[in-house]
Structure 1
Amino acid sequence: MMMNLFSIFDPSTSMNMSMNWISSMYVLMFFPNLFWLIPSRWNYMYMVMLKYLINEFFVLLNYKINKMNMIMLISLFMMIMLNNFIGLYPYIYTSSSQMIFSLSLSLTLWISMMLFGWINNTNHMFIHLVPQGTPMMLMPFMVLIESISNIIRPLTLAVRLSANMIAGHLLMTLISSTGNKLNLLFLIIMLLTQSILIILELSVSIIQAYVFTVLSTLYSTETN
């Protein structure tokens, strides 16, 4: 019997030390077939996704100046998406649902962007604190509001990713927890609902990785 609903995010292991975080290394299983002589279907899907991301980030970033940023952000998208996808398998630790995972990514990106912006583009960063057309009386308040909104960006990025992954897993667990007490008709309805939720979670795993990466891209454009 499951005593705590959140125990689904920390599956037990047969060893004295927790091996849950090894699930983050499972993404490496998706990459060896990229080096096959004949492209596989996964390779074709990967290239289509890569082309779409490059076209999408080309609008947000100047490709010639931010070529390395684009490579880093696309790699970040793939890592988050694969971690979200692998977390949908039964009895596999969902690392992206943990704040220590998402906050470490967002905080590292935010600190690096802030250091780069304030060191290299100090005047540009000060200009962003006061939007154009702000009345003189509201300028001190706008500086305070913009500063607070800038400081909480890594927290909002981390909470958005973790909360969306937690919500879907909890909903599927709550629905399936009463499966042994249902009759045949309601059991079929529950299985159909679970199948729809799995499809929804597949889309959420891609969308949340995309949102995390696009917001990081938009934050980086403000410092450049």
Structure 2
Amino acid sequence: MYTKARIAGHPIHPMLIPFPIALYTATVAALLAYLGTTDPFWYRAAMIANIAGLVMAALAVIFGAIDLFSLPARSLARETGLKHAGLNVLTNLLFLATAIFLWRTWSEAAIDGTYPLPTAWPLGLGIAGLVTMVAAGALGWKLVQTHHVGVKPSVHERPAVPMAPAMLETPPVVAPPVARDIIEPPIAPPIEKPAPIEKPAVREADDEGVIHIPVRHH
């Protein structure tokens, strides 16, 4: 399913989302580094990374919205895209609150020189933002893997061959033959019994030991 927002055939939204992902992650990592070292450098680095992440996220949202509303209405892809967009909006709001807190705290510290800087609120908001960002990323990958959003059809894929009308028709039902149409098999002739075989005459001897052979007259 091709997307509308693309450059030279490549979707723009997937090319932009790695930047806010990396910058938001760097924000939380820098806050953890400041929590372990109390070096103001890491606090300032977290603020800069957070603001840069918001700028890149705003660009990604613009092109993502173009892709979202180009999906067919009432489709599973549109439904997944709306969930993906909602979680991304929540992620950006959490990091927006983090950026505001970091900016105000850093500005006050630069004027008053109050150290150490508070990290509980920005770190908690940042971790919550990372959780929603991962959930949004899972839905974004589902759009690509399951619904093929932003995937260009391959030139090697064969188009679907339309079925001939004869293949779509239901074959006619043949009625079973009626009893009168059934041809009875021919009756075999009776088998004649073979003639009995006569046993040969038994030669018998008289009292004097003479054997008499019976003679058959024809």
Shorter-chain TM-score range: 0.3 to 0.5
Higher helix share: 1
Please give the TM-score of this superposition, normalised by the length of structure 1: 0.34
**Higher radius of gyration, 1 or 2:** 2
